[in-house]
Chains A and B, each alone.
Chain A
Amino acid sequence: MTMAGALNRALADALAADDRVLIFGEDVGALGGVFRITDGLTAQFGEARCFDTPLAESGIMGSAVGMAMNGLIPVVEMQFDAFALPAFEQVVSHVAKLGNRTRGGTRLPIVIRIPYGGGIGGVEHHCDSSEAYYAHTPGLTVVSPSTPQDAYSLLRAAIASPDPVVFMEPKKLYWSKGPVDTSLTAELRRAEVVREGSDVTLISYGPSMPVALAAAEAAAADGRSVQVVDVRTLTPFDDETVAAAVRGTGRAIVIAEAQGFASVASEIQARVFEQCFEYLEAPVRRVTGFDIPFPSPKFEHWHLPDVDRVLDAIDSLHWDDAPHSEETP
């Protein structure tokens, strides 16, 4: 099943399981979403459960707040990463804070689905990586799946969560395929070691996971045993799993597509330094996008982290067999 299919199945199963769940946004009805994630849901569940709104992201987000206050579980679609920005005030000032403002009296079980990231040849404003904005906001849970199975299980978990979840869907993985067992559940706030290894830990999430896994494979061919961790929930962060993984290898690289400055990758790097310093054989490195506005389609292959860039980072980690240049007089 594709990731898009898995997400569609998760939404259908959530609608069937709980009549408080409803879906709305732009083009989610008859069209089934521009990425077809809501395909067929209006036909199956009716206009009251999956419907199109006026073209207004703040309106979608703000009315979701009121709906959740009145006992429903809204799952809203923000069509494209950069189009979610008009809703940012509602997300930061209200969605993230209402539970706290009311001392837990009013919880907002809202799921905000945001297709994000590049690698699809999209034009300006269709390829941004905005996860750090949300991850910086206390009160939000920010999730990004990298496989069809996680897409299904984590979306079901997000809908079941009493807290608001920003669900970042990697656009370039929508058509990636993998097995999906709908009986499998996933826990939010849990990172997962998806590949065992003893020399170096690659830490990544969402759209960059295939790069991390391909780099691990390539490095293995060079004789390095590479461990790979999929963060899955960017915040609240699973320090325990990540720190345990890095302590086992003593070397770590964080890989993410987003621009690196003040990013989720920077945060993970800092946390690993703080918690694993005495175990580290080398500085924790980052491989990220450059600190530029997301480039035009013909440039994006230079911008996005790729296997070669990860392999170069692995080579730079103070290996005994290849002393790095700073040590050479």
Chain B
Amino acid sequence: MSRLRSPESATALLPRDTPVQLVTAAGEHTPDPAYAIPTDDELIRAYSSLVTGRRINDQCNALVRQGRLAVYPSSNGQEACQIAAALALRETDWLFPTYRDSVAIISRGVAPAEAMVLLRGDWHSGYDPHEHCVAPQATPLATQLLHAVGFAHAAKLRGEDTVVLAMCGDGATSEGDFHEAMNFAAVFELPVVFFVQNNEFAISVPLSRQTAAPSLAHKAIGYGMPGQRVDGNDVAALLAVLGEAVDRARAGAGPTLIEAHTYRMLAHTNADDDTRYREHEAVQAWTGRDPLNRVRTLLRDRGLLSDEAEAQFTEAAERTAADLRATMHAEPEVDPADLFRHVFAEQPAMLDAQWRMLQDEIDRTEADA
């Protein structure tokens, strides 16, 4: 049973001192001996998804201001992480997202309007997890990492080659469930990729209050799994690093922890005032590292992105936004009977009685009206 690693092999698990980068902020390819840059086709596909992802973020922020969404935790600035998470997986692999990962979910094929049901407030989740291999968005921090681990454990026990990608933020790494998930995945050698989007703040609390470790990726070594750091605004590096971890997992080599260094360009949600905890200049400094601009520059310089193609991507993104807007502007029909549905597979008499009471109340209200 005992098969603990030797201290010598432990250093092989350590992440890089500086995050893996394949495309600089200025859009130049910086070759890396360990990670090949994705193909031109993959980069074009990623860029097109980034354009749509940014548009979705902007549209949802607008929908909050218009009162159509109760809240929107924006991933503006983090779109490269969102897109790479979705593109790194096969269709049959599973994604376990958080509340901030709507763009990743939509990139996995969930209809934008279905992804917004939770935030609009007419149901807790708007899509069938099994239809898109995407778990419901989790609001409590780090809890979904354990669900991902269990899902992967079942896949391993059944001999399936499913890989599970579990997303969380920097704040979630302080939670007990983060530790338990990493430990379970490593002990049982499960096909899980833990993907931390380190955007430097957990609402208002900076990374320095979450950890004293050299990086979040360094935590991996304590569990006996490799950790890696990657530039979270470089979609090429993200695809390469996530892709390698997904391949490792599928080959039966166990879990990996990946920390993407990125930045949340907007407040935590519309209810948050980020001017209370960070300077405008600090935020502005990150605009120079925008994930869309750098891959766009690279593709332009290589002559791979024509004006026509750009126009097509923009148009597709506009269409997605327009569809989302139209659906969100239509007031959703809600059925009070839904209050009692699906609490149990078979409704108990207790809830039948409560529904009859509400139904009677509604009938009398309507009769009075």
Contacts and interface: CB of A to CB of B under 8 A. Distances in A.
Contacts of B181: 59, 62
B348 interface: yes
B136 A66 contact: no
A239 B350 contact: yes
B343 A48 contact: no
Contacts of A89: 140, 143, 177
A99 B343 contact: yes
A139 B143 contact: no
Interface stretch (A50-58, A202-210, A244-252, A313-321): A50-58
Contact of B135 (A69, A107, A235, A240): A69
A183 interface: no
B143 A62 contact: yes
A138 B343 contact: yes
B153 A63 contact: yes
Contacts of B341: 103-104
Interface stretch (A90-98, A168-176, A256-264): A90-98
B7 to A, nearest CB: 21
Interface in B155-169: 155, 157-158, 164
Contact of B349 (A98, A138, A139, A236): A236
B364 interface: no
Nearest to B185: A63
A53 B176 contact: no
Contacts of B350: 235-237, 239
Nearest to B190: A63
Residue of B130, B152, B342 contacting most chain A CB atoms (<10 Å): B342
Contact of B147 (A65, A100, A162): A65
Interface string B145-156: 111111111110
A106 interface: yes
A146 B144 CA distance: 35
Interface in A24-41: none
A100 B347 CA distance: 12
A94 B143 contact: yes
Contacts of A93: 140, 143
Contact of B124 (A72, A74, A100): A100
Contacts of B125: 101-103
A287 interface: no
B183 A56 contact: yes
Given A48-B157, A62-B149, A90-B143, A101 B124 contact: yes
B187 A66 contact: no
Interface string A60-97: 01111111111110100000000000100110011001
B155 to A, nearest CB: 6
A95 B320 CA distance: 34
Interface string B108-150: 0000000000000001110011100001101010010111111
Contacts of A56: 180, 183-184
- Most chain B CB inside 10 Å of its own CB: which residue of A48, A68, A103: A103
Given A69-B129, A163-B344, A236-B344, A101 B154 contact: no
A68 B138 CA distance: 17
Contacts of A69: 129, 135, 147, 150-151, 154
A141 B343 CA distance: 11
A68 B128 CA distance: 15
A329 interface: no
Given A236-B350, A236-B351, A239-B350, A99 B183 contact: no
A99 B321 CA distance: 30
A86 B176 CA distance: 9
B109 to A, nearest CB: 16
Contacts of A309: none
Interface residues of A, number: 49
Contacts of B151: 66-67, 69-70
B342 A62 contact: no
Given A99-B343, A99-B345, A58 B154 contact: no
Interface in A281-322: none
Contact of B150 (A63, A103, A106): A63
Nearest to B123: A103
A139 B146 contact: no
Given A86-B176, A101-B124, A66 B344 contact: no
Interface in B172-204: 176-177, 180-181, 183-184, 187
- Residue in B140, B154, B349 with the greatest tally of chain A CB atoms within 10 Å: B154
A102 B128 contact: yes
Contacts of A223: none
Interface core residue of B123, B146, B176, B181 (most chain A CB under 10 Å): B146
A58 B146 contact: yes
Contacts of B130: 105-106
A18 to B, nearest CB: 14
Contacts of A161: 345
A100 B342 contact: yes
Given A62-B147, A63-B149, A63-B150, A54 B345 contact: no
Nearest to A64: B150
A249 B309 CA distance: 82
A189 interface: yes
A94 B183 contact: no
- The listed residue with most B CB atoms (<10 A of its CB), out of A59, A104, A238, is A59
A89 B151 CA distance: 18
Nearest to A93: B140
Nearest to A164: B344
Given A89-B140, A105-B129, A106-B130, A62 B344 contact: no
A31 B361 CA distance: 56
Given A59-B180, A64-B150, 12 more contacts: A53-B184, A61-B146, A62-B149, A63-B153, A66-B149, A69-B147, A100-B343, A103-B123, A104-B345, A105-B128, A236-B350, A240-B349
* 4 closest A-B pairs by CB: A62-B146, A66-B150, A63-B150, A236-B348
